[in-house]
Amino acid sequence: MSGEVADPTAAAALAQWLRDATRADAVRVTRYARLSGGAIQDNWSLDVEIDGGTLPGAHRYVLRTDAPSTVASSLTRAQEFAVLQVAHAAGVATPAPLLLCTDPRVIGRTFFIMERMGGIAQAHRLTREPALVPDARALVRSLGANLARIHAIRPPRADLDVLPAPAEHPAQAAVAALRVHLDRLEDAYPALEWGLRWCDLHAPREFDVTLVHGDYRTGNYLVDAGRLTGVLDWEFAGWGDPRQDVGWFTARCWRSHGVDLEGGGLASVEPFLEGYASAGGRAVSRDDLTYWQVMAHLRWAVIALQQARRHATGAEHSLELALTGRIVHELEHEALRLMMGVDR
């Protein structure tokens, strides 16, 4: 294994902390390097050799910490760690969470360590390279079943009391939260406003409240040898209407190159819903899909506007952020098409 230690001071502090946390005789950090991806969190690969203690042996970990700039409404690392522990214990395919460190003296910020899983996450590859996904229907089916296992986790739970209490009406609460974000921007967005009004007027009267992942989509899970290994990026998890995750996963804006494939850009929606039902997920109607896909486009548009604003205000000068602002128009357009029933 190629040893690369990007920050020897932090690596030494981590070795010391790991030695104490696992009551080991000795800990050697053989690799500590930033991983790609993550506009909101910093992810580092961390390889260690541990002598004795509770985790002896050579390990490949991911260290996840807060990035300097955070997006409003995302979880802290400590909250995310708690969610990951509950989800992993419930049999959800996700990296095993190992240790949480809230002591800022170690590397300057709170972080946690989790298992590093194999596989590819990039949506643009998974939706364009058939060799990576030889049986797309089977993969999408397992993604549906896996989501149902997340949604089987329901409040109240003492081990998730770090999460904000569930809203009385999740859809209306989502609309209200998006309006708050829109009101912090310079300009007004008529199509997003009309979409939110539509979501308010068509809010479901009946709903379950479960754990929702909040960013369950192609690009946020790992696929190894064509199979799902683990779901990543739990920073938007919380209590909500489970159909929010179904709408997000199936929304056109997350299908990458598989734009006409409603099952995450990989297959039709049917195997996804079959898998979801097979693991206990409640039935999702065509109208439910439309409603939560509209919500998905509105939510992504608001996040994109926040990201664009980070560039526009000079907080973080970035071509990628500037271009993210330019996707808002197609998200608005897609939401309108869905509302008007001219699309799916």
Partner 1 sequence: MMTDISNGIDLMATARESLLRDVLPALPADRRYVALMIANAMAIATREADAGDPATKGEATTLERLLASVGAAPDDAALATAERLRTLRRAIKDAIRAGRFDVPPHAEALSAGLLETTRAWVAISNPKALRPVAGPPALHRGS
Closest distance between partner 1 and the C-beta of residue 330, in Å?
4
Beta strands per DSSP E along the chain: 4-5, 26-34, 41-51, 57-66, 97-101, 111-115, 210-212, 221-224, 227-231, 238-240
Taking residues 156 to 185 in sequence order and writing x for each that binds partner 1 by CB under 8 A, - otherwise, the string is -----------------------x------
Please give the residues from 247 up to 286 whose contact with partner 1 meets the rule CB under 8 A.
286
333 binds partner 1 (CB under 8 A): yes
Rounded to a whole number of angstroms, the distance between the first and last alpha carbons of the chain is 47
68 Cβ contact partners less than 8 Å away, ≥ 6 residues apart: none
Please give the residues from 93 up to 122 whose contact with partner 1 meets the rule CB under 8 A.
none
- With CB under 8 A as the contact rule, the residue among 34, 197, 257, 317 that binds partner 1 is 197
Taking residues 285 to 304 in sequence order and writing x for each that binds partner 1 by CB under 8 A, - otherwise, the string is -xx--x--------------
d(CA 127, CA 139): 12
- Cβ nearer to partner 1, comparing 7 with 288: 288
Q: According to the 3-state scheme, what is the secondary structure of 295-339?
A: HHHHHHHHHHHHHHHHHHCCCCCCHHHHHHHCCHHHHHHHHHHHH
- Which is nearest to 94 in space by CA: 146, 162, 157, 50? 146
Closest distance between partner 1 and the C-beta of residue 39, in Å?
14
Contact region for partner 1 (CB under 8 A) — 40-48, 69-77, 94-102, 330-338? 330-338
330 binds partner 1 (CB under 8 A): yes
193 binds partner 1 (CB under 8 A): yes
225 binds partner 1 (CB under 8 A): no
d(CA 102, CA 167): 28
**Number of residues lying near partner 1 (CB under 8 A):** 32
> Helix 170-183 to helix 286-312 angle, to the nearest 10 degrees?
20
What is the binding site for partner 1 (CB under 8 A)? 179, 187-191, 193-194, 197, 201, 286-287, 290, 319-320, 322-323, 326-327, 329-330, 332-334, 336-342, 344
